[in-house]
Amino acid sequence: MRLEDWIRDATDELALAGVDSPRLDAQVLAAHGLGRDRSWVLAHPEELVSGDDLRGLLQRRVNREPLAYITGVREFYGRTFYVDQDVLVPRQETEFVVERAKLWMGDGKDFEVLDVGTGSGCIGISLALECPGTRVTLLDKSANALRVANKNAESLGARVQFVHSDLYAALPRRRYRVVVSNPPYVAHRDDLPPEVRDFEPETALFAEADGLAMYRRLAAETFAATRCEVLIVEIGQGQADGVSAIFSEYGWDLADAMTDLSRIVRTLTFCPADVATL
C-alpha cells in the first residue's frame, strides 16, 4: 500500500484509540519503522510500504504506549535522549529547570551541580553540555535509570559522574553549589492519561502526602548533605503554595518562581536562609 494511505488509516485508528495527535504520531511511527525521518515520510507519500511490517508499532501506540518508548528517543533542550520504561519521558516543562539553573550559574565555571533523581539524565546532562565548566553529578536510587543516564551521557559526549543512592545516603560528602531536581510529585488519586498511568515508572511519578512527600525530604536533608547555595525543583500544577510552605518550615527562602507560557508555576528556586554566609 502507499505510504500516505497507511498514514491515513493509522491516523483514523489512533484517533479512535484516543491519541491526542494521531496524524503526527502515525507519521513518526512510519518514519521509525522505515528507518527514515519524518521529513522523508512527508516528501514520499507514494512510497510503497508493507502494512504488516508497521502493524506492531501501530498496535503499541493504539494500546497507548508512549511514542517515546516505541521509538526509544525524546527531544529535550535541543538534543535527542534515549528513553525506555525505566525512566520518565522527558517533558518540555522540565526544560525550565535547566533554564533557571543556567541563569543562576552564568558561565557555569567552578560550579558543582547535583541532579537528584536524574532518571534519563536530561537535566544534568543538558547543564553539563550547556555550561562546559560545570561539574555535574547524576544521582538516582534506580540502577536501571542510571544505566539510561549513562547511555545518554556517552552518546551526547557529556562528562558527568554517577551516584547510586536513595537521596543522599551514599552521596560523597563535598559541596554541591547547585542542586536541581524533578522529584516524584503526582498524588496517587490524580487522574492520569494511560500513557503515564500504565507505562511510566511509578517510583518516578508518585509520592505520598498528596504528591508532596519528596519535597519534604529535599527540604529536610539537602542542605546538610550538599551545603548548596541554591535548590531548584520542578513542581506540579497547583503545588506552589504547598511546596513553598514546606521549604519555609525547614529554613529555606523562596528566591523565585518560574511560570510557563500558560502562567502555570513550573519551577521554584530556594536558597538556604544563611546562604550569604556560605
pLDDT value at residue 167: 96
User: Is residue 133 a part of any domain in this protein?
Assistant: yes
Q: Are 37 and 141 part of one and the same domain? A: no
pLDDT value at residue 275: 53
Interval 83-105: pLDDT, tens: 999 999 999 999 999 999 999 99
Give yes or no for residue 276 having a pLDDT over 50. no
- What percentage of the chain carries pLDDT values higher than 70? 98
Q: How far apart are CA 253 and CA 242, in angstroms?
A: 14
User: Is residue 56 a part of any domain in this protein?
Assistant: yes
User: Is residue 131 a part of any domain in this protein?
Assistant: yes
Compute CA 144 distance to the chain's CA centroid, rounded to the nearest angstrom. Answer: 15
Give yes or no for residue 277 having a pLDDT over 50. no
Q: Are 108 and 197 part of one and the same domain? A: yes
User: Is residue 68 a part of any domain in this protein?
Assistant: no
Identify the domain containing residue 8 by its residue range: 3-63
Q: Are 130 and 264 part of one and the same domain? A: yes
Q: What is the mean pLDDT of residues 103-110?
A: 85
- Chain length of the chain: 278
Q: Are 205 and 137 part of one and the same domain? A: yes
User: Is residue 28 a part of any domain in this protein?
Assistant: yes
Q: Are 170 and 56 part of one and the same domain? A: no
Tally the domains of the chain: 2
pLDDT value at residue 237: 93
Q: Which domain-ending residue is among 63, 91, 106? A: 63
User: Is residue 242 a part of any domain in this protein?
Assistant: yes
Interval 131-178: pLDDT, tens: 998 999 999 999 999 999 999 999 999 999 999 999 999 999 999 999
Q: How far apart are CA 174 and CA 54, in angstroms?
A: 51
Contacts of 230 (CB under 8 A, 6+ apart): 104, 177, 178, 179, 255, 269, 270, 271, 275
DSSP assignments along the chain, one per residue: -BHHHHHHHHHHHHHHTT-SSHHHHHHHHHHHHHT--HHHHHH-TT-B--HHHHHHHHHHHHTT--HHHHHSEEEETTEEEE--TTSPPP-GGGHHHHHHHHHHHTT-TT-EEEEET-TT-HHHHHHHHHSTT-EEEEEES-HHHHHHHHHHHHHHT--EEEEE-STTTT--SS--SEEEE----B-TT----HHHHTTS-HHHHB-HHHHTHHHHHHHHHHHHHH--SEEEEE--TT-HHHHHHHHHHTTEEEEEEEE-TTS-EEEEEEEETTGGG-
Q: Are 163 and 101 part of one and the same domain? A: yes
Q: Are 33 and 85 part of one and the same domain? A: no
User: Is residue 229 a part of any domain in this protein?
Assistant: yes
Q: Are 173 and 82 part of one and the same domain? A: yes
Compute CA 81 distance to the chain's CA centroid, rounded to the nearest angstrom. Answer: 10
Cell digits of residue 274: 544563611
Q: Are 98 and 54 part of one and the same domain? A: no
**Bridge partner residues of 232 (DSSP):** 180, 269
Q: First-to-last CA distance in the chain?
A: 67
CATH code of 124's domain? 3.40.50.150
Interval 194-215: pLDDT, tens: 999 999 999 999 999 889 999 9
pLDDT value at residue 110: 84
The bridge status of strand 135-140 relative to strand 160-164 is parallel
Q: Which domain-ending residue is among 63, 93, 110? A: 63
User: Is residue 174 a part of any domain in this protein?
Assistant: yes
CATH code of 46's domain? 1.10.8.10
Give yes or no for residue 278 having a pLDDT over 50. no
Q: Over the chain, what is the mean pLDDT?
A: 95
Q: Are 80 and 154 part of one and the same domain? A: yes
pLDDT value at residue 261: 84
In 3D space, the residue among 22, 26, 158, 24 whose CA is nearest the CA of residue 81 turns out to be: 158
Q: Are 167 and 272 part of one and the same domain? A: yes
Q: Are 36 and 117 part of one and the same domain? A: no
